Amino acid sequence: MCGIAGLVGLDQAVASPRVAEALRRLVHRGPDGEGRHESPQAVLGMRRLAIIDLVTGDQPIYNEDRSVAVVCNGELYNYIEQFSELERRGHSLQSGSDVNLIPHLYEELGGDAFTPIRGMFAAAIWDERRHRLTLARDRVGKKPLFYAQVGDGLAFASELPALLALLDRIPPYSSAALADYLRLGF
């Protein structure tokens, strides 16, 4: 179990300490390490529970020219067969981590990058050239991913306490939504 968090569209001086606090709140999800991507438009972070590629699998994972950054919580089941296809098509893979698929598939397929992936995941892709964030989850929604608008930006995290660390203020709760949750259980 890993955890991801990030803020895009806010000044890096504001976003960086908020993401640091969000990652602190996710330590229990990933005690083996922490990684961050920081640029003027985006700060992405992750807490890692090292399972695959213990030595070189730290995140964020990048494409060859580091214009695409990825953080991911989960496991991609078909990564080995996808690796050979990517290498055959000329990609240079950063590590043996399953997450290494994502930036290269994004380069080729854009928003459809997750179509060939089988697994359980929640991921964030930051495209530095286009200043575009892509958030994705597996088809079943096994791994959690929460998000909220923050001014002109967007915050995301694997858990609500981490998401709250990214916000300007604690939002008011909706009594109707709370009643629905208690009645329906979701």
Q: Which domains does the chain have, with CATH numbers?
A: 3-184 (3.60.20.10)
pTM (two decimals): 0.89
Of the listed 1, 2, 44, 94, which one is catalytic? 2
Task: Catalogue the long-range contacts made by 46-54 (C-beta closer than 8 Å, 24 or more residues apart).
Answer: 46/2, 46/3, 46/4, 46/5, 46/71, 46/72, 46/73, 47/2, 47/3, 47/4, 47/23, 48/2, 49/1, 49/2, 51/75, 52/96, 52/97, 52/98, 53/95, 53/96, 53/97, 53/98
The edge-to-edge listing of strands for the beta sheet with 42-48 is 33-38, 42-48, 3-8, 153-157, 146-150
Rounded to the nearest integer, the mean pLDDT of the chain is 91
Tokens of 12: 């890096």
Tens digits of residue pLDDT in 119-176: 999 999 999 999 999 999 999 999 999 999 999 999 999 999 999 999 988 888 899 9
Mean pLDDT for the stretch of residues 79-85:
86
Tens digits of residue pLDDT in 111-122: 999 999 999 999
Q: Is residue 53's pLDDT more than 70?
A: no
Q: Is 72 a catalytic residue?
A: no
